[in-house]
Amino acid sequence: MHLLKGDPSATENDKKGPFLTAEAALDRARDLLLARQQAGGWWQGELETNVTMEAEDLLMREFLGIRTPVETEPTARWIRSKQGADGAWANFHGGPGDLSTTIEAYAALRLAGDPVDAEHLCRAREFVLAHGGIEASRVFTRLWLALFGEWPWQRLPAIPPEVVLLPPWFPLNVYDFACWARQTIVPLSVVRSLRPVRPLGFSLGELRTGRPSAPAPSLRRRSGWMHRLDGALRGYERHPIGPVRRNALRRAAEWIVVRQEADGSWGGIQPPWVYSLIALHLLGYPLSHPVLRSGLAGLERFTVREETPDGPVRRLEACQSPVWDTALAMVALADAGLPAEHPALAGAAEWLLAEEIRVPGDWAVRRAGLAPGGWAFEFDNDGYPDTDDTAEVLLALGRTGADPAVRAAMERGVVWLCGMQSRDGGWGAFDADNTRAVARSLPFCDFGEVIDPPSADVTAHVVEALCAEGLTGGTAVRRGVGWLLRNQEADGSWFGRWGANHVYGTGAVVPALIAAGVRPDDPAIVRAVCWLHRRQNPDGGWGEDMRSYRDPAWRGRGVSTASQTAWALLALHAARSDDTASVRRGIGWLVETQRPDGGWDEPQFTGTGFPGDFYINYHLYRLVFPISALGRLLRDADRFS
C-alpha cells in the first residue's frame, strides 16, 4: 500500500501533489515541526479564542484610563474582521453567533469610534435585540457594562469579599471552586462590593429590549434556593458589617497580590488577570505600583500583532501553552523516529527540566502533605501546576535519555500525580476532589465550568504516563482504569473535557487502557472502536463540532480536521483495529490534505476551555498529533497493507 510506504509500484502521479506517500508526508511534517522549535528549546503555538479577549482589553484600558489609539485601532480592526454574516460574533470558527460575545464586541467598537449607524453595527444590533438584548446576556458581560453605568450594580448577583475569610472546610469557600474560578471570584468580589462607575462616553441603550427580569426559579430546584441565597447576600451587601468588610477587602487584596506570577499575570490566564488589575486599582493601588505595572506590562507577551491586507491587527491570547506544546512536540518527534539523543529532544528536555515547579500552590490546601513536583501549562504559573501537563511531560521526558536530573524530576512528578488522585479514582486537572457541584448553581456562575472534577481525558493521560513509568499493576493505575471504565458513555465513547470532544476523549482513553493492560477485545475497547468507525466521515477523516457540548446529536460529527483525525487514528492503532480500510482512509485523508510546507490547515477550534462556553484553537495541534499518528502507524505499516 503506497500511502504508507514508498511502494515502487506507485505511479509518479501518486507521488506528487496531494498524493504524497505517508512516509514523505511524515518527513515533511517532522521537518516543519523541527523548524518551529525556539532557540531556548521549547515550542509554542498560538492559542486562539474569541473576540471577548480583545473587547475586554479595550474596556479594561478605558476603565483604567490608559487606552490609546495605538492599541485601539488595530484591535478594533481585528474585532471587525471576525464578525459573521449574521451580524454576530461566534465563540468558535463556524459556530453560531453568541449574544454576550456580540454585545462586548459591539461595545468595544463603539469605544473605538465606530458610529452607531454603521452598517456592521446595525447588523450586530439586530442580532442582539432578536436574542434578548443586554437583559439576556451573561453575568460577566453585564458586570463589564456596570463598570460604565450601563447596567445597575444592584441587578447583579452578589459576590461578597467575605468569601475569602471562609475556612477550607466551610461550604462554598474559595477552594470549593476550580483554580481558574477562584482566581476570578476573589477580585470580582472586590469589584462587586465597591460598585464603581466610570464614564463610557456614550450609551448602549439601543441594545436594551426593556423586557422584565425572569421570575425567580422554583424552590423545587437547587437554583431556586441559590437564587434566594443570592437575595440574602445582596441584602447584606447593602449593609455590610464594617470591620468584617474592611478585613475581607484587606485579605482579598493580600490573596490576590501573593498569587501574581513572575510574568505579571494571574494564573497565566486572562479572566483573573484583568479583574485583579481592576480590583487592586479600586483598592487604591496606583498604576505605578510594581504589582500593577508588572501586570499591565505582562499583557504584551500575550499580544499577537499581524499585518493584513486591511492593515495591522492586534489580538490577545487568553493563555499560552509552551509546556504543553513542547511535551506534545517531543512525543510527536519521538514517534516520528527521532532518537532519544537528538539535539532537539535534548534541548527540549533541558528546558522542561527548568520548568518543573518545586513549590506548593493552591492544590496543597487539599493535599497538604504532598511534596511538589509537577508542571504547569504556561511559562510562569508556579501556583497552579496541573496533572494533565505533568503527565504529558513525563511521557515526553521518558522518550529522551536517562539523564539523572531528568529521572529525578520524573520520579517527583510520579509521586505528585499519584498524590493528586481523587477519592473516586479519577484525576481533575488542577485540584484533587474539587467536586462540590452546588457551586455551579450560584447565580453568578452562568459562564463556564466552575469546578474541576475528574475527567476522562486527564485521567487517561495520567494512567498512560504512570504505565510508561512501570506502574501498570499499581493501585493508582488500577483505580484510574476503574474510573475510566465506569465513565464510558453508552455509545462507547468518552467525554472530552479539554478537547473537542468525544473524539478527543476516546482518542485519549483507548491508548491509556491498552497501556494499562486492557485487552483489545475487551468490550469497552470494542465499543469505542465501533463508535470511531461509525463516526468516520465519507472523506476518510474525523471531526467533531463544538456544538456537541450542548447537543448530543453533534457527537462525533463535524468537518474533518487534522488533529481530530489523528486522535481517532491513535486510538485505532492502539486498539489494533481489524478494520484496516478505515485506518487507510484516515491516513489517506491526512496525506491528501497536507499543505506543501508539511502542515495542515485547521481553522476549526478543537480545544476546550469551558465545555459549552469557551473554546480554543491550538495552532500546534494540527501538526503534532498527525505526526504522532503517522509515526506510530508507519512503524506498524505491515498491519495495514
Instruction: Show the CA angle centred on residue 471, arms to residues 466 and 473, nearest 5°.
Output: 130
Four-point Cα dihedral 462, 464, 469, 471, nearest 10:
90
Alpha carbons 632 and 576: distance in angstroms, whole number:
12
Q: Please return the burial class of 199, using the count of CB atoms within 10 Å of its CB with bins 0-12, 13-18 and 19+.
A: exposed
Give the closest residue to 628 by CA, choosing from 323, 320, 322, 327: 327
Alpha carbons 70 and 314: distance in angstroms, whole number:
10
CA 414 to chain centre: 24
CA 35 to chain centre: 25
User: Is residue 176 annotated as part of the catalytic site, yes or no?
Assistant: no
Alpha carbons 439 and 452: distance in angstroms, whole number:
11
Alpha carbons 343 and 352: distance in angstroms, whole number:
14
Pairing of the two strands 47-48 and 303-308: unpaired
| Active-site pick, 380, 382, 386, 388 | 388
Instruction: Show the CA angle centred on residue 563, arms to residues 385 and 509, nearest 5°.
Output: 60
Give the closest residue to 140 by CA, choosing from 151, 132, 131: 151
Give the closest residue to 504 by CA, choosing from 630, 616, 385: 616
Enter the DSSP assignment of 97.
B
Alpha carbons 603 and 619: distance in angstroms, whole number:
9
Phi, psi at 613, each rounded to 5°: -135, -40
Alpha carbons 282 and 147: distance in angstroms, whole number:
11
- Report residue 381 as a C-alpha cell: 504559573
- HSE toward the beta carbon, residue 84, CA cutoff 13 A: 20
Q: How far is CA 522 from CA 59, 481, 636, in A?
A: 54, 13, 21
Alpha carbons 435 and 450: distance in angstroms, whole number:
10
Enter the DSSP assignment of 299.
G
Spatial neighbors of 530 by CB under 8 A, at least 6 apart, are 492
Alpha carbons 579 and 6: distance in angstroms, whole number:
22
The identity of residue 317, as a single letter, is E
**Residues that are catalytic:** 388
